[in-house]
Amino acid sequence: MGRKKKKASKPWCWYCNREFDDEKILIQHQKAKHFKCHICHKKLYTGPGLSIHCMQVHKEAIDKVPNSLPNRSNIEIEIYGMEGIPPEDIKEHEKQKTGGGKGSDSDDDEPAAKKKPTAALLGAGPSSVSAGILPTPMGQMPQGMYPGHAMSMNHMMPHFMQAPRMMMPGMRPLFPAASVPTSTPSKPTFPAYSNATISAPPTTSTSAAGSEPKENGEVKVPAANACPLVTATGAGSKIVHPPEDVSLEEIRARHAKYRPKPKPDAPQTIATSVANIMSASTSQAEVAAHMSAAVAAARQQAALRRPVMQQVVGVLPQQLQLQQLPQLQQLPQQLQLQQLQQLPRVGVPVSMPPVMLPMMPQFNIMRPIQPVVVACGVWWAERWGRGACGVGAPRDERVVCRHAGAGRDDADGYVRRRAGPAAALPVAAQAQATPLSQLALLDWRPPVPRPRPAPLLLL
Amino acid sequence: MTVTRVAESRTEFKLKNLPEDAISSVKFAPKSSQFLLVSSWDCSVRLYDVTSNVERHKYNHELPVLDVCFRDAAHSYSGGLDQTLKMYDLNVSSETVLGEHKGAIRCVEFASEVNAVLTGSWDGTVKMWDSRVPNCVGTYNQGNERVYTMSIVGEKFVVGTSGRKIFVWDVRNMGHVNQRRESSLKYQTRCIRVFPNKQGYVLSSIEGRVAVEYLDSNPEVQKKKYAFKCHRIKDGGLEKIYPVNAISFHSVYNTFATGGSDGYVNIWDGFNKKRLCQFHRYNTAVSALSFSHDGSALAIACSQLDESQVEDPKPEDTIYIRYVTDQETKPK
């Protein structure tokens, strides 16, 4: 609609995306809005400056820049006017301004609503750092996503705890570059943030299906059954849709009451017919069907394996549990023990873990990885999003700059981090504790030469 | 979702004897605004006489029905999760199974141009059927993507699938795909409807956005395509973005109504890029819309489709018939 596109050359504030006519005014704005100490109202010059001031003068740790957008609240990045803004953010900003990128976005044109320049840039916070992580309200996730099929959560959580990116929620980049596996100076300093500013990340591109290393060194989880995810556009918005990128009808069709009536004697056919109906073969329901088929088979093997079954039941969908549990609970504990002891005699090796039982291989083969990833991903993303700025982190884990006299001079190009315990951790542990996306934060960036403002530390 | 209670007025009323489960599709008869076909997740297909507000016919599938369409005043076609395409003769109340898909049938459309029925399925194909006897005329692969939505006007036949693919066919010559496109929207395609004047189509996604696109691949024409945001609700600091579930064209004015999971119905003038009006908020998500042939009435089906995955007591599934005015539908 004949609206004039604004020139992108105006100075703008990285923290709040506001545009100014003059960089001087921008700096005034930043000092007044973002770099002002909330205790003594002293205006500092940079984010790190403010944090050091608060630490040293008031003994208070500041974890985010005041009045900033959720994904721009990083206090460690040094920005002064237009200087120090990560290049990809500048690019992104220009793109947004010129309406570049995909045509569909360029002409957003809702007659009723005014277009806000900041809206598009209001990318998700660190929560959208990696694929498969969805900023969905946490409360709904574990139960809401697959009602009655909470099993994969329980089952898979331990596994994902080991994955590097499943780091503690709310943790900040604590550990020094010692654990950085891949970092080259040419890389963007804050890839995580630049990713986050894409206003609407594509969700369904088939290329995303493979596991390709992303620019921040993070390997995308392969979409197990080419089932991409619906990721929300940003921290300030939420798409009211289940996280799986399949149509609402398909999701609804998985509901037990819409499935064809099961034939009791042919569990296998049930599974197949269910699979036919849901050609989106990623469904939990299908897994459940396969499992129930498998379980039915296993069940015929009667009492011998019951104790083991009970363990398995712990990860089964509720429906199955309902069927199985009464039966199992009737068994006196002693009897179970007895049976367990008898097991070796019938040829089941004692050392064999329950997962090796006949029913399990099928389950393993059929289990789609995706929903699990979703489940964990969302959960962590949620925690991470909430605690992204260190809010949730235990106090002693917060990043505190303790260098004596640390001021702007401390802008040695390294993002501040805590020295100390980290060094004591074995490298493997560090890698585990530091999310890949955050490792990039440790990239070295040459200090930006700029006019030196007045001395910072007036104690 | 807050429920807006609006007194039933002359311009809008609720149908009686509604289906017991979510409504998947509503279609007005081709030449009268008296009859409305409704398919539902309660496995039924019902025919309503809107003017006297009574249910005239009802037949069932084995499993939920996802779509239904009229051939003429006396025949309907329907398909759903049971993967079978049924023809129903409304005069003699007899049903005929025309054939089967390998997956659930998501869309059923009647192509008057070639007197055939088209079905789109989650098995990744579109099939064309003889409209009178059980005879599958052809099976057309849609890139192995599940068919989510279809629309046909005259010979222009547009299919939207999973993976944001769009296939443009000509029903007179189904030998090859006319155009293969990728949706210009970044999120899952929810609904596609071809303009009654056949110049283009309107496409909606799950991310509260609607695109207006043109079929002519001439770059000059393609320049005119655009997309806009809608069906979003600012709730405090959080903007909730809802799927746009339904689109229906006003056949006379080429304006269209969109219905979203936010419970709103908007009417747009796609050529002038204007919103003509917004109705009050309905009690739950709008799952289907249908303008009558002359554009005098709009059927609005309200059913929650689990988009928010809240286990609340389910809001009632309802169908409203709204008699729209020129002011609401005519380009200004």
The per-residue pLDDT for A82 is 87
Residue A342 within any structural domain of the chain: no
| Average pLDDT of span A68-79 | 85
Taking the Cβ of residue B82 and every Cβ of chain A, the question of whether any pair is shorter than 8 Å is answered with yes
* Cβ atoms of residues A267 and A292 within 8 Å: yes
Q: From first to last of its 332 residues, what are the pLDDT tens digits of chain B?
A: 444 444 455 688 888 888 888 899 999 998 888 899 999 999 999 999 988 888 888 999 888 999 999 988 889 999 999 999 999 998 888 888 888 888 899 999 999 888 899 999 999 899 999 888 888 888 888 888 889 999 999 889 999 998 888 999 998 888 888 888 888 888 889 999 999 988 899 999 988 899 999 988 888 888 888 999 899 888 888 888 889 999 999 988 889 999 998 889 999 998 888 888 888 888 888 999 999 988 889 999 998 887 776 666 778 889 999 888 888 888 88
Of A103, A107, A253, the CB nearest to B104: A253
ipTM: 0.86
Give the pLDDT confidence of A271-303 residue by residue, as tens digits.
444 444 444 344 444 444 444 444 444 444 433
Alpha-carbon distance B170 to B190, whole Å? 22
CB within 8 Å of A90: residues ≥ 6 apart: none
| Average pLDDT of span A97-107 | 48
* Cβ atoms of residues B270 and B255 within 8 Å: yes
Residue A280 within any structural domain of the chain: no
DSSP helix, strand, coil percent of chain A (3-state; round to 5):
45, 5, 50
Taking the Cβ of residue B91 and every Cβ of chain A, the question of whether any pair is shorter than 8 Å is answered with no
Residue A231 within any structural domain of the chain: no
Q: Which CATH superfamily is domain B12-329 in?
A: YVTN repeat-like/Quinoprotein amine dehydrogenase (2.130.10.10)
Q: Give bridge partners of residue B149 from the DSSP assignment.
A: B160
Strands A237-239 and B238-241: parallel
Residue A140 within any structural domain of the chain: no
The per-residue pLDDT for A413 is 40
Cβ B243–A104 below 8 Å, yes or no?
A: no
- The pTM score is 0.50
Cβ-Cβ contacts under 8 Å, B241 against chain A: 232-233, 237-240
CB within 8 Å of A433: residues ≥ 6 apart: A167, A168, A171, A174, A175, A425
The number of distinct structural domains making up chain A is: 1
Residue A75 within any structural domain of the chain: yes
Residue B261 burial (C-beta neighbours within 10 Å; 0-12, 13-18, 19+)? buried
Residue A170 within any structural domain of the chain: yes
DSSP per residue, B102-147: SS-EEEEEEETTTTEEEEEETTSEEEEEESSSS-EEEEEE-TTPPE
Model confidence at A230, pLDDT cuts 50, 70, 90, reads low
Q: How far is CA B185 from CA A200, A311, B178, B256, in A?
A: 10, 46, 20, 18
- As given in the structure block, the two tokens for residue B37 are 């076909």
Cβ-Cβ contacts under 8 Å, A246 against chain B: 146, 162, 188
Taking the Cβ of residue B242 and every Cβ of chain A, the question of whether any pair is shorter than 8 Å is answered with yes
Model confidence at A388, pLDDT cuts 50, 70, 90, reads very low
Interface of B with A in 26-45 (CB under 8 A): 41
Rounded to a whole number, what is the distance in Å from the CA of A120 to chain B's nearest CA? 12
Q: Which one has a higher pLDDT value, B194 or A160?
A: B194
* Nearest chain B residue to A205, by CA: B163
Give the pLDDT confidence of A165-194 residue by residue, as tens digits.
444 444 444 443 333 333 333 333 333 333
pLDDT at A157 over 80: no
Residue A181 within any structural domain of the chain: yes
Instruction: Give the domain range for residue A61.
Output: 11-104+152-197+387-459
Nearest to A285 by CA among A241, A312, A310, A319: A319
Alpha-carbon distance B146 to B138, whole Å? 17
Strands B116-121 and B105-111: antiparallel
Taking the Cβ of residue B109 and every Cβ of chain A, the question of whether any pair is shorter than 8 Å is answered with no
Segment of A195-204, A315-324, A373-382, B202-211 carrying the highest mean pLDDT? B202-211
Per-domain boundaries in chain B: 12-329
The per-residue pLDDT for B223 is 86
The per-residue pLDDT for A231 is 62
